[in-house]
Structure 1
Amino acid sequence: MRRYEMMVIIPDTLDDEAAQAVWERVKGLLDKQGGQLIDEAWWGKRTLAYEIDKRDHAYYGVLDFEASSEGLDELERLLKLSDDIVRFKTVRPTLRIRKPA
């Protein structure tokens, strides 16, 4: 399993509780695909850098997790089908190993 980081953007048309429910559903989808959640950060409502679908605010969340490539592909497919997700981006973070001085 490889380590990934995913940022999820949820529309601000939802209220705080509904956005949190979508966030929990995303974490549940990760678990169903066999992924292991390492860390999560819920950033809340933020201003977008540029308008997306005529919106200038959205809810942000970041997941740090491990998953197989098949599990990640299925998770991304399910997120693309969801109407409650504006955008998402998955990257493989570079792991830095410090050398002894």
Structure 2
Amino acid sequence: MHNYELALVLSAKLDDESRAAKLEKAKGYITRYNGTIGNVDDWGKKKLAYEIEHEREGFYYFIPFEADPTAPAEIERHVRIMDDVLRYLIIRTDAE
């Protein structure tokens, strides 16, 4: 098991319920592949460094999790096709 972090930027056009549903869906993908989720860091609405899909703001979430080495590829495969996800990134946070 390794430690990872999923950085997720959701569209600022989403209402609170839709945004919470998207976040839960992303967390569901982590648990589906036997990952254990830590405390989700919600940064709220922030201005983007550059315009993405005609949007200048997005909601930032950082989700730390522990999973097998094969899980990040599978999680990324699902998050990539989610609607209203402007950007995502999974990084390994533990030292080798």
The 5-angstrom pairing of residues 17-32 of structure 1 reads: 17-32=17-32
Secondary structure at 1:17 match in 2: helix
The 5-angstrom pairing of residues 20-99 of structure 1 reads: 20-95=20-95
**Cα distance between partner residues in 2 of 1:82 and 1:94:** 27
CA-to-partner distance for each residue in 1:45-69, whole Å, 9 max, x for gaps?
Answer: 1111111111101111001111112
Task: Please list every run of 5 or more consecutive structure 1 residues that lacks an aligned counterpart in the other structure.
Answer: 96-101
Normalised by the length of structure 2, the TM-score is: 0.89
**Cα distance between partner residues in 1 of 2:92 and 2:70:** 15
| Structure number, greater radius of gyration | 1
What letter matches 1:67 in structure 2?
A: A
What letter matches 2:5 in structure 1?
A: E
What letter matches 2:80 in structure 1?
A: K
Task: Please list every run of 5 or more consecutive structure 2 residues that lacks an aligned counterpart in the other structure.
Answer: none
Displacement of 1:94 in angstroms is 4.8
What CA RMSD, in Å, does the superposition of the two structures yield over aligned residues? 1.3
Q: Runs of 4+ in structure 1 displaced over 3 angstroms?
A: none
Query: Paired residues, what number?
Result: 95
Between 52-61 and 42-51, report the one with greater CA deviation: 42-51
Between 56-65 and 82-91, report the one with greater CA deviation: 82-91
Residues 2, 94 of structure 2: 8 Å contact kept: no
Counterpart in the other structure of 1:99: none
- State percent identity of aligned pairs: 33
Normalised by the length of structure 1, the TM-score is: 0.85
Secondary structure at 1:69 match in 2: coil
